[in-house]
Structure 1
Amino acid sequence: MTLTARPSAPPRTARRQNCFDALRLAAAGCVLVQHASTHLGAGFLWYRHGGALWFFDGVVAFFILSGGMVYASAERCRREGRPAREYLRNRFLRIVPALYLYFAVMSAALVALGIVSLGALRGTPFLAWAASNLALVPVYHPALFHGFGVGVVNGSLWTIPVEVSFYLLLPLLVWLAHRAGFRAMVAVAFTAGLTGTVLHAALGGPTTEVLGGKLLGVTFWPWLAFFVIGIAIGRAWPRLPQHGALAAGAALLYAAGTALRLRADADWSVVAAVATALPLAYLLFWVGHHGPAVLRRSTERLGDLSFGVYIWHMPVINVLLWSGLAGRLRDTVLVTVVIVVTGLLAYASWHLVEKPALRLKRYTSRPGALAG
């Protein structure tokens, strides 16, 4: 077996030669606007809460892109003969520093704003919330925070245990692809994922009050089909036809499917989303590889702010609600404030914590089509 020589450290100046950072930032921005409109009762440009003319699949887009990118990283780790712990180290460096920074800042802010007393820091509710954040399962929302904004510090972070559990599954998928073949792995994983999606829907879907459904919803299983679609498209991309006309067709097919999906029962909305994920995945990868250079240059200058935007937008919304500032502004102006403040926090997170942490990686897929 021939092993690729390992560099002592990944190049620190490597840059993506694609638009995937910009795509993830756009997806995070769509989630931000959707949540701001919902919780602040504010419209943004043409969009109003409950309206149809918006991209509602920001999280699905994250899962699809994550499938392609992180699988490429795990596969490279195996191909180069590296231990699985180096792949897991890369995943740790990508998400944990930003999440721990968020936890530290929010803990201090909750005390400074008077929402949590110093005495409450020793209480079971706060300690349980702290433990859930530090364990990367930030889905515990104690009554301690019910007076803060929407009553939940950051409900958007339900995706973190989904992503983490997928990261832990990936070495098994890479092993299965090596043993049984890539197509067999995709078939098995997609079937298993679709089964999880249907089971989650049967238990009440994303809005379920059934404990089993809630616990299932914060694991990879109901969302695995989206990750697998990203894995399949990402791996097959060099061999797929890549034309602007096909991308336009995929966009139309996705839009038509989404219009029909919005009429489906809410419990089964994620199952319906699987049907539109394939054209969405083609569109995402086409823009990622063939999008205008301005998209790539914008994130080269700003940095990869997508994770920070996703982490910080709900705390910003909560502070605006709690302080009463949300009542003094309206619609696009109010949502723009959320965008600007969240963007500044994301910029600080990237340049102070996330980017320095990524320099500690022992291998990287940058630069290239997909990065780990």
Structure 2
Amino acid sequence: MKSRDAALDGIRAIAALGVWLLHVGSNTGVMYREGMIPWMMSRLGIAVPIFFLLSGLLLYRPWARAVIENTPRPRPLRYLWRRVLRVMPVYWLVAGLALWAWSSFDWAGWLKWMLLAQNYFPDDPAPDGLYQMWTLPIEMSFYVLLPVLAWLLHRWARGGNRPVRLLMGIAVLPVITVVTVVVARLFEQPQLALTLPYNLVFFACGMAMAVLSVWIGHSRVIDSLAPQFFILAALLYVLLSTELAGPRTLTLPTLPQSLWRVSLETAVAVLVVAPFALASRPGSLRNRVLGNPVAAYLGRISYSFFLWHAPVITLQLKLTGAQPFQGDFASVAVVSFVITMLLSVGSYHLVEVGALKLSRHRSAPVPPPAAPAPRPVAPAP
């Protein structure tokens, strides 16, 4: 099995901490105060596009390698089985506890949440402690669609320069996002923001990086420009943290604000990930910082951290009797971080690791008898 990329795990860790800090700030009201810092805190949702981009990068790369290097393609059923076992067991644990504690759903409501269908029923009230779960139906939609996209791109790429044609095919996907954003705003359909087409541009950028990583490998240009990439990402994040990208509250943005926000989030996510996806160098400062053992481990447990942090914050606020948007930021941050970390370590080792071992065991390919040794299959991330 291919070893994990420690630096990409470090990016996951920072993204998960960003989502946690965003929700601490919103639940305590700090995010809605005046000043640049609260505005910048309100845009920590940039973590979600980064998560989506990483999914596109890591999950599409075996298919891109199959097209460019003629290696065997991933088996769709095996791939989907691994995705289900990667996502669902610990999700069922966290969501089930929160639903049991704070919802009054009947069996139909439970079924919607257990099957990650909650985004398709936007009029249903969201239970306390599960407000972060809107991203998972989008992720799962991409997981299910990816084998179909990969098959279409594979057929399209056979007619010429394969890497270039793959990139041309992937370039269609951001157009779908632009059309969806326009429809959502012009026809007042805000629930479209909870669907895959609205967010497809982030996955598409990751898929494009997957093609480039197989095609060109290590890019000396991106390696040399990595500091400038990070500086530009920081400057664009400051621009994202203004009214240009929409309000901080639940007030719906205008069409120009929505387009600016999607564009800026895409640019920031690409600039942050590209130096590690296309110019990874273990000895570089950036890889040593984000790929250190602590950051890498936090990245491995980041999914559990993402799931647990909102129920923990909710429970803490309920136990302390804090009024909405008036909790103490420092105490909520410290207590929620410590408890979430402990729960995340436990669920990672007791649930996630076991599910991943099961996925590898059940999906291990059986070599055909009396046949030449097959070429190595690219491991699924």
Residue in 2 aligned with 1:219? Answer: 195
1:284 paired to 2:273: yes
3-state DSSP of counterpart to 1:292: helix
Is the aligned partner of 1:313 residue 2:339? no
Matched with 1:94 is 86
**C-alpha contact (below 8 Å) 1:66/1:230 kept by paired residues:** yes
**TM-score if structure 2 supplies the norm length?**
0.75
- Where 1:16 maps in the other structure, the secondary structure is coil
- 2-structure distance, mates of 1:87, 1:32: 29
Residues in 1 aligned to 2:96 and 2:36: alpha-carbon distance in whole angstroms: 34
1:228 matched to 2:228: no
Report how far residue 244 of structure 1 moved: 5.1
Q: Which amino acid aligns with 1:260?
A: L
Is the CA contact (8 Å cut-off) linking 1:64 and 1:229 kept in structure 2? yes
Matched, 1:159 2:159: no
Pair 1:99–1:279, CA change in 2 (3 A): closer
For 1:35, which of 9, 14, 23 is the aligned residue? Answer: 23
The answer to whether residue 166 in structure 2 is matched with residue 190 in structure 1 is no
- C-alpha change, 1:87 and 1:308, in structure 2 (3 Å) is same
Change (3 A) 1:153 1:138: farther
Moved more, 80-89 or 32-41: 80-89
What is the distance in 2 between the residues matched to 1:76 and 1:200?
Answer: 35
- SS of structure 2 residue aligned to 1:52: helix
- Mapped partners of 2:379, 2:225: distance in 1: 21
2:75 to 83, 101, 124: 83
After TM superposition, give the deviation of residue 15 of structure 1 in Å.
3.1
CA distance in 2, matches of 1:202, 1:313: 35
1:110-130 Cα deviation digits (max 9, x unpaired): 1xxxx56xxx6xxxx332331
- Residue of 147, 150, 153 corresponding to 1:177: 153
Kept in 2, the 8 Å contact 1:137–1:160? The answer is: no
Report deviation, 1:103. Answer: 2.8
Structure-2 residue corresponding to 1:135: 115
Alignment of 1:265-276 (within 5 A): 266=246, 267=253, 268=255, 269-276=257-264
Deviations 1:312-359 (A, max 9, x none): 111111111211265897323321211111111111111111111112
Residue number in structure 1 paired with 2:106: 126
**Count of residue correspondences:** 328
* Equivalent residue letter for 1:304: R
Q: Share of identical aligned residues, percent?
A: 25
Q: Kindly tell me: are residues 355 and 178 of structure 1, through their superposed partners in 2, closer, same or farther at Cα, counting changes over 3 Å?
A: same
Equivalent in the alignment of 1:7: none
Match of 2:338 in 1: 340
C-alpha contact (below 8 Å) 1:196/1:222 kept by paired residues: yes
CA distance in 2, matches of 1:73, 1:234: 8
Match of 1:352 in 2: 350
Pair 1:303–1:161, CA change in 2 (3 A): closer
Partner Cα separation in structure 2 for residue 201 and residue 142 of structure 1: 18
State the AA in 1 paired with 2:356: L
**SS of aligned partner of 1:152:** coil
8 Å Cα contact 2:49-2:269 kept in structure 1: no
**Over residues 157-202 of structure 1, what are the superposed CA-to-partner deviations in whole Å (9 max), with x where a residue is unaligned?**
1111111111122112211221112023112222223222332343
Sort the Cα spacing of 1:141 and 1:308 in 2 relative to 1 into closer, same or farther, 3 A. Answer: farther
CA drift of 1:275 comes to 2.7
| Residue 199 to residue 236, structure 1, CA distance change in 2 (3 Å) | same
* 1:302–1:263 distance in 2 versus 1, CA, 3 Å: closer
Instruction: Determine helix, strand or coil for the equivalent of 2:23.
Output: helix
Which ranges in structure 2 are unaligned for 5 or more consecutive residues? Answer: 158-165, 247-252, 366-377
CA contact (8 A) 1:173 1:185 kept: no
TM-score, normalised by the number of residues in structure 1: 0.76
Q: Distance in 1 between matches of 2:245 and 2:297?
A: 43
Distance 1:260 1:48 in 2: 11
